[in-house]
Amino acid sequence: MSLGVSLVEHGQISPWHMSLASLNLFLDTACDPALPWHWRNLCLDHAWRPLHVLQQLVSDRMQQRTLDTVRNRLATLRLQPSLSPSELAEGNPYE
């Protein structure tokens, strides 16, 4: 997250795009069954931060629609159980 803040401070990305990318990364990571459950839950626990920033930054209809879309994604997120260590090993051809 600090890299994103640095990019925003140096004008290389807008706060809106940085927050949207962060939120999508949290949601994508939370949905990855190859990751441990506690890690996925932490991603959901932290998703409110970029969502809150997005709510403060909305300045037009397009951004409002985008915000509504990511809010809906978060509200309807269905998480599959994490894979067990044996399932992870089965999928690895190098073991």
For 31-75, what is each residue's pLDDT tens digit? 999 999 999 999 999 999 999 999 999 999 999 999 999 999 999
Whole-model pTM: value is: 0.84
Report yes or no on 50 lying in a domain: yes
What is the rounded distance in angstroms from the CA atom of residue 1 to the CA atom of residue 12? 15
Angle CA 25–27–33, to nearest 5: 105
The total number of structural domains that make up the chain: 1
Report yes or no on 55 lying in a domain: yes
Report yes or no on 2 lying in a domain: no
Whole-number pLDDT of residue 4: 79
pLDDT at 7 > cutoff 90: no
Q: What CA–CA distances, in Å, run from 91 to 34, 36, 83, 94?
A: 10, 16, 10, 9
Question: What domain range is 26 assigned to?
Answer: 7-70
Report yes or no on 30 lying in a domain: yes
